Structure formats: structure tokens, C-alpha cells
Copies of this chain bind each other. A is one copy, B any other.
Amino acid sequence: MSKYYLFAPGPTMIPSETLLEMAKPILHHRTKVFEAIFRETEERLKWIFQTKNDVLMLASSGTGAMEGAVVNFLKKGDKVITIEGGKFGQRWGDICKAFGVNAIRHMIEWGKVCKPADIEKLLQDNPDVRAVFWQASETSTGAAHPTKEIAAIVAARPGCISVVDGITAVGAFHVPMDEWKIDILISGSQKALMLPPGLGFAAVSDKAWAFAETSDLPKYYFNFKKERKNLAANTTAYTPAVSLIMGLNYNLKNMQEEGLEKVYARHNRMARACRAAAPAMNLKLLAEVPADSVTAYLLPENVDGGKVTKGMTARGFTIAGGQDHLKGRIFRIGHMGYYDDFDILQVLSAVELTLKDVGHHLELGQGVKAAAEVLGAKA
């Protein structure tokens, strides 16, 4: 007998009930029954995105939604800023490059977060910048850029839109699109929304839709204006990922029953527990400002991160290592979606045993104890 524990920053664990919901006989997408589910799902998505804007549903991974957020709103040669503090920040810059958008690639040391004043300065120096792209949560480092502050800076400029990758944020922590005046907010299915990969989301503000009117970048599959028109008729431009939408509706319904504040308090509590365990395990956190969705632990020079993820695999646990220059230097635990306090204690106990195994100096039980103290504290 071997159990499988999934603590990666996506795909994340899926409730058995959701798996069975998606295992119901498939519906055709052009039926009244499915159209009603589609509409219900759209309304629930607005709730989790905290917006009155349309939330487009795309049959793609989150990266497809990111591409759509570039090609639907910009013109060839447009100047933009991409805030790049990790693998996914880089992706914004790479997508812009692929489509002939002129990105000022604002590089941040991986693990650090963007200073709003730097964006203010960049925008003053480059008043022709038409969009600023960043991550609410940079999955590769576990860092949370100051989304509220940067969005406010962009919102003050009529000629510039904010584009936020919320793939490991929406559903895990507070990113209120309308309140913070975010213009485009992206997400994906396989993170806090507790689904298999295959659905991308993009919520779009009126300010951004006006940009879409002058966009001349080529697009076909990710044509947001076409999707918006279809959404009004409770359908999608191309065949939607029917079974994932069924599961999404089910999960969002359950999240609504739990309540947004409780969902976010749960994520915050688990994240604080993971952070508290770091010093108790003789480790440091990578992120300057850690996100509530994923925790990245920095290893001492003498510990090989590859051995940590491998040791966890041998115990039945999938966690994530580091990417690019952080490979072998960090390990990451995802705790968004279908996780509770006891899952956190479970994964930390496996981490402790694994770290000891690979020669890291720590006292067994101290990380779990520190986490339990956070989890057990009265709110």
C-alpha cells in the first residue's frame, strides 16, 4: 500500500466529490441544461474574482490566458512594463517579445518583490507605456508583489492598463479586482480552484475592453472579443472544456458556502504555519513578502534540494523544487485549494524526516510544533 500526497503549487489536490461530479455523463455544450450551468458558473467566477466584469473561460492552461491578455489589448510595437521576479514574470516578457510588443523588462531578484515607487518612476520616464504586467503571486518564488499599490499607480493613468497574473492567487488570497481597479486578472483551474489543468480565466475591465478596440496583434483561438460575445449567449467561441466547467461550478458553490473570508483566512493560517516552521527547521524563507498560496524554503548551501524533492517522492509526497538558478537551492510546498490544517502538519512531518535524511541539521518535531502553535491559536 502506498498513498499519494500532492503538495505542489499546481496541479493541486482535487476533492473526491469533485472528481465524481466531473465523472457524470458528459453534456453537450449547446444544450439548455449546460447553458444554465455555464451561466451559474460565470456568476460564481465573478464572485471569486470580486468583480462585475465578465470572466472569460478558455480551454487552455493559464499560459493561454496570459497570451490572450497580451494579444487582445496591444498594438505591435507598443511599449509595456513586465515585472519579472521569477519564472512567470519572465513569461510575461517572453510572450510580449513573441508578439512584437516592446517590453521594458523590470528585473527583480528572485524572491524579492517589486517596489511600487520603481514602477511610478518607470511610468514617469516612459509616459507612453500602455500596460504593466505582473504576478499577484510569483509561483516560482512564493513571493507576493504589492498588487494593490501597483494597480493604483496604473489606475491613475488613463493610457495604461494593469494586467495581473492571479493563477496562484485567485481563490487563495484577497485580490479584489474591482476595488483595486485591476484591468485584467488571469487565473487557471489547477490551483486554488481545485480542478485538473485545462481551464484558463481572464476577467477584463471596461478600460481594457477599450484598448481591445485598437489592438492589431494577430489572434484567433484566444480572441477575447469573440469570447465576450459568446459569453453573453452562455457559450464559448470554440468547444468549452465541459467536464472541467461542471467541476468548477461544483467547487465554486462549495467555496461560496464556506464564504470568501473563511476561505482566505484558512489559506492565510496554513501559510503562516508553513512560515513559522521554517526557522524551527533551521531554514529560511525565500520570499521577501510570502504569498498565502505557496511557501518556498531556502536550503543551506550544503543541502542538495534535488535530494529533498526525491526523498519526499519516496515518501509518497510530490512537492516542487526550484527552477532555473534556484534549482537545488529551494523547495516549495503548495497549500492552495483543498488543504486543511492537518494536511500542513502531515507534509511538514514528512519534510522534517526527509531533511534529516539528507543530512540537514534539525531537531525532529520542531517544525511541526511551530506550525501547530500557529494553527491552534485563537483567531
A residues bordering B, Cβ < 8 Å?
4, 6, 8, 10-11, 13-14, 16, 19-20, 22-32, 59-64, 67, 94-95, 98-100, 188, 190, 196-198, 217-223, 238-244, 313, 318
Return A172 CB to nearest CB of chain B, in Å: 17
From known contacts A6-B28, A23-B23, A244-B198, infer whether A218 and B318 are also in contact, taking CB-CB under 8 Å.
no
B98 touches A239 (CB 8 A): no
In contact, B218 and A99 (Cβ under 8 angstroms): yes
How many copies of the chain does the oligomer comprise? 2
Which residues of B have CB within 8 Å of A13? 25-26
Nearest first, the 10 A-B pairs at minimum CB distance are: A196-B243, A19-B23, A23-B23, A198-B241, A98-B220, A63-B238, A197-B239, A28-B318, A198-B198, A61-B239
Contact A29 B14 (CB under 8 A): no
Instruction: Name which of A16, A61, A99 has the most chain B CB atoms within 10 A of its CB.
Output: A61
Other than the given A61-B221, A64-B64, A98-B219, 11 more pairs (CB < 8 A) read: A8-B30, A11-B28, A14-B25, A14-B26, A60-B60, A60-B221, A63-B238, A99-B218, A196-B242, A197-B242, A197-B243
Residues of B contacting A197 in the complex (Cβ-Cβ under 8 angstroms): 29, 59, 239-243
**A285, B95: Cα distance in complex, Å:** 47
A240: nearest chain-B partner, CB-CB: B197
B60 touches A220 (CB 8 A): no
Most buried by B among A30, A95, A217: A30
Q: Is the CB of B244 within 8 A of A196?
A: yes
Indicate which residue in B11, B22, B60, B95 contacts A29 across the interface (CB closer than 8 Å): B11
Bound Cα distance A221, B241 (Å): 17
Residues of B within 8 A of A29 (CB): 11, 197
Cα separation A221 to B29 with both chains bound (whole Å): 24
Q: Which residues of B contact A24 (CB under 8 A)?
A: 19
B26 near A220 with CB under 8 A, answer no
User: In the complex, what's the smallest C-beta–C-beta distance from A333 to chain B, in angstroms?
Assistant: 13
A236 to chain B, nearest CB (A): 9
What residue in chain B is nearest A309 (Cβ atoms)? Answer: B30
- Cα distance A6–B98 when bound, in Å? 41
With CB as the reference atom, state the residue of chain B lying closest to A200.
B59
Chain B nearest Cβ from A320, distance in angstroms: 8
Chain B residues within 8 Å of A10, by CB: 239
Contacts of A23 in B (CB 8 A): 19-20, 22-23
Do A94 and B220 have beta carbons less than 8 Å apart? Answer: yes
Assess the B218–A218 pair: CB atoms within 8 A: yes
Say whether B221 contacts A62, CB under 8 Å.
no
Q: Please, which residues of chain B bring their CB within 8 A of the CB of A240?
A: 61, 197
| Bound: A302/B218 CA distance, A | 44
Given A67-B220, A198-B59, A239-B11, A6-B22 contact (CB < 8 Å): no
B residues in contact with A26, CB < 8 Å: 6, 11, 13-14, 19, 196
Q: Closest CB-CB distance, A20 to chain B, in whole Å?
A: 6
Closest to A217 in B: B218
